[in-house]
Amino acid sequence: MHPSLLLPRILALKDSSAFTVIIDSVEQSASRLISEFLHHAPESTNVLYVNYETLTVDKRVNHEISGHEKVAELKQKIVQLTGTSQTLIIFDTLAFIPEQELFQLLFSLISKHTTVVCVYHGDIRSKSDSSSSCYPSTLSLLNYFATSILTVGPLSRPDVMPHVLEQHSNRISAWDIPMGCNSPKFEVQLDYRRKSGRSVIATYTVDNSSHAVAIAPNKAQQQENEADLLKDLTTFNLTTSTRNQQAKDKVELPFLESQKYGDGGVQGGAIVYQYEKDDDYDEEDPYEDPF
């Protein structure tokens, strides 16, 4: 699949991305990208919106749930409203959920009928326990478990002088928000993990006013020129044809059972071994069974 089609398929819930994380900042909020999910989602999709900080929820939302309650009660409400039809669950932020309960909640909601989209504010420091300093941060774990990571930001400005961009970044770091932030037209960096384990990275421009999604022009031009850059470097063929790339994307790496979803959420950590016809297996030997 060409990268230009990947983000539109994710927004329309046509691609198997069960756990999507949106990383935003003060400079560009994730609210506009959330509205794109709501706009492109099929009409038959049941949309649940877990609200922590949104003042007005879109009319497309079927059920609005207040997140300011105990995690066990929140989970129970979401499960009651989740049926066998396709369901989109949106968390407008993860900042108010205790870290020790966060992933247990998220994994319990993921299934073959459910897509979870959550927002992580990248400029808010994580409240990690000092006694577990060796434990990974919340953002590291989200990057590890997410099937798609969408990082929103302002459009790239190559025509602006470097010192002007540095001054702008310094103002953002000091929480002195300049004009022009949270523009309707913004940039999205996608990190998509295929079932094979490969990662697809692409950059898009999204126009919230016209709901148009397109791959960034400079990135598209760079992909088109890759073959020309490698053409005269050697007598070997270093490029990959469209047919070869499609066949390569269809190859799945081994040990993919841990990526399957069951009734209890993500089923990971299992030992998967398939016996072949030449294997010498003795059923009477208790030490023969690897499980």
Walk me through the domains of the chain, giving residue ranges and CATH numbers.
3-266 (3.40.50.300)
Q: What is the pLDDT of residue 226?
A: 55
Averaged pLDDT, groups of 10, the chain, 291 residues long: 85 88 90 95 94 93 93 93 90 91 91 92 68 76 92 76 66 65 89 82 93 77 55 66 75 59 54 68 59 49
For helices 138-145 and 99-109, give the axis angle rounded to 10 degrees. 20
Output b/e per residue, 278-290; b: 16+ Cβ within 10 A: eeeeeeeeeeeee
CA gyration radius for the chain? 22
Residues in the chain: 291
CA nearest to 7, candidates 186, 142, 192: 192
Q: What is the pLDDT of residue 146?
A: 92
C-alpha 29/C-alpha 186 separation (Å) is 10
Label residue 245 left, alpha or beta by phi (over 0 means left) and psi (-120 to 50 means alpha). alpha
3-state secondary structure of 81: helix
CA nearest to 118, candidates 102, 129, 101: 102
Q: What is the pLDDT of residue 163?
A: 60
Q: What is the pLDDT of residue 220?
A: 47
C-alpha 196/C-alpha 255 separation (Å) is 9
Sign of the alpha-carbon dihedral angle for 119, 24, 266, 141: negative
Q: What is the pLDDT of residue 259?
A: 55
Q: What is the pTM of this model?
A: 0.71
Q: Which residues contact 168 (CB under 8 A, 6 or more apart)?
A: 178
3-state secondary structure of 246: helix
CA nearest to 186, candidates 33, 20, 21: 33
Helices (H) and strands (E) in the chain, counts: 9, 11
How many other CB atoms sit within 10 Å of the CB of residue 166?
A: 10
Could you identify the residue written with the tokens 């997140």?
Answer: 67
Burial of 86 (0-12, 13-18, 19+ CB in 10 A): middle
How many other CB atoms sit within 10 Å of the CB of residue 32?
A: 20
For strands 185-193 and 148-153, give the pairing.
antiparallel
Q: Token digits for 174? A: 């000091």
Q: What are the distances in angstroms from CA 236 to CA 228, 231, 232, 240?
A: 14, 9, 9, 12
Q: What is the pLDDT of residue 168?
A: 63
